[in-house]
Amino acid sequence: MVKYLTIPLLQIVCLSTASLYFWTAISQSEIPLTKFGRPDLQGFWSNASLTKMERDPAYAEFGLLIPNDKIDEITRNHPQVVRQDTDDNQVWKELPDGADLSLGRGYNAFWVAPGSRFALINGEYRTSMVTRPENGLIPYSDEGLELRRENRAKYSGVLSDQVTMGTDGPESRALGERCLIGMGSTGGPPITNVRYNNLYQIVQTDEYVVLHIEMAHDVRIIPITTQHRRKDIKPWFGDSIGRWDGQTLVVETVGLHPLHAERHYVAALSESARIIERFTRVSQFEMLYEFEVEDPVYYTENWSGEMIFAASNEPIYEYACHEGNYGLLGILTGARQLERESQ
């Protein structure tokens, strides 16, 4: 339980637009400190939001900011909001034909919690987490796009833009399917949000900051130091080190594990990639997360973005990933059966 959270979560979710503006404007003098004198980032946080990493073409006309007089209508008509309002009424054998599986129809609305509002930062509703470039899109170079295609071919057995995973063995499946890394870059870097399991727990001492991610129980242990590990040691989430810049925790990450870097759900990264993340407690109830990605192999320029983490009074429960994970077994078993039938 977050000791400084005095408003029940349900009330926070249901706050009016006017209340949300006030919520983001609480004085920094009220920000709690640890016994070490640093901003207290500890507690449970959520980054669930309708705002995603890249800008949806439907919002291109607005640029980064959604006009205040449009926000209610756009929120009401967002596919995820419509789905939450209607999906639970669907009946078995009357479900869609699968054409919209890319929208997450593998789950009905009961199982997803993507957020019900667009991100609000400094009183402004955002269309994307990416703030640079201005178009809100990740600036892949031609070489970067080709490398992505090659990575997909390497790990899926196809050379196309269709995400079709291989079936030779578990190693050819996505890391998330194998319960090794949470799906959707929930652990980062950079961190993004997904359809569900958007909770985080932060624990800190004077020497370490630990991010416990609800999705797959990923954990990032970030030492407060100026020295990186040896270059031949490549953790799943990279070699992250932290330092304090005034009221902001600055985290620098290099050396992601090659499998995670190449298959990164949000943005592929090379061995030369460098990611800077900033965590700033901006109120009793909010933490601003900023990031910048530097990778000349994949991108034409450095790109950056930001999102808000909202304090939550919901704890993180067990993420039982492999228990009942019959999907992986079924996919591989089905592939072997098709091979036998083709002989």
DSSP 141-177: -HHHHHHHHHHHHHHHS--SSS-----SSGGGS-TTT
Domain assignment of residue 301, yes or no: yes
Domain assignment of residue 158, yes or no: yes
Domain assignment of residue 27, yes or no: yes
Residue pair 178/170 in contact (Cβ under 8 Å)? The answer is yes
Residue 283, helix vs strand vs coil: coil
Residue 321, helix vs strand vs coil: coil
Q: What is the pLDDT of residue 162?
A: 44
Query: Concatenated DSSP letters for 241-252?
Result: EEEEETTEEEEE
Q: What is the pLDDT of residue 161?
A: 45
In this predicted model, what pLDDT tens digit does every residue of 196-207 receive, in sequence order? 899 999 999 999
In this predicted model, what pLDDT tens digit does every residue of 168-194 receive, in sequence order? 888 877 787 788 888 778 998 999 999
Q: Print the domain residue range for 251.
A: 9-314+323-342
Q: What is the pLDDT of residue 33?
A: 92
**Is the pLDDT assigned to residue 88 strictly greater than 70?**
no
What is the largest distance, in Å, between two alpha-carbon atoms of the chain? Answer: 72
pTM score: 0.84
Amino acid occupying residue 122:
N
Mean pLDDT to the nearest integer, 92-113:
61
Domain assignment of residue 121, yes or no: yes
Residue pair 178/328 in contact (Cβ under 8 Å)? The answer is yes
Domain assignment of residue 1, yes or no: no
Domain assignment of residue 294, yes or no: yes
Mean pLDDT of the chain: 83
In this predicted model, what pLDDT tens digit does every residue of 208-235 receive, in sequence order? 999 999 998 899 999 999 999 998 999 9
Residue 241 burial (C-beta neighbours within 10 Å; 0-12, 13-18, 19+): middle
**Is the pLDDT assigned to residue 2 strictly greater than 50?**
no
**Spatial distance between the Cα atoms of 335 and 37, rounded to a whole number of angstroms:** 57
Mean pLDDT to the nearest integer, 14-20:
35
Which residues face 125 on adjacent strands?
66, 120
Domain assignment of residue 306, yes or no: yes
* Element housing 72 (H / E): helix 71-77
Residue 197 burial (C-beta neighbours within 10 Å; 0-12, 13-18, 19+): buried
Residue among 74, 68, 73, 72 nearest 55 (CA): 74
Residue among 84, 138, 90, 130 nearest 110 (CA): 84
Q: What is the pLDDT of residue 6?
A: 34
Residue among 277, 226, 287 nearest 250 (CA): 277
Which comes out higher in pLDDT, residue 161 or 116?
A: 116
* Element housing 73 (H / E): helix 71-77
pLDDT grade, residue 80 (50/70/90)?
Answer: confident
* Number of separate domains in the chain: 1
**Is the pLDDT assigned to residue 239 strictly greater than 90?**
yes
Domain assignment of residue 2, yes or no: no
Percent of the chain at pLDDT above 90?
A: 52
**Spatial distance between the Cα atoms of 303 and 216, rounded to a whole number of angstroms:** 27
Q: What is the pLDDT of residue 93?
A: 55
Bridge-based pairing of strands 303-312 and 130-132 is: antiparallel
Percent of the chain at pLDDT above 70?
A: 80
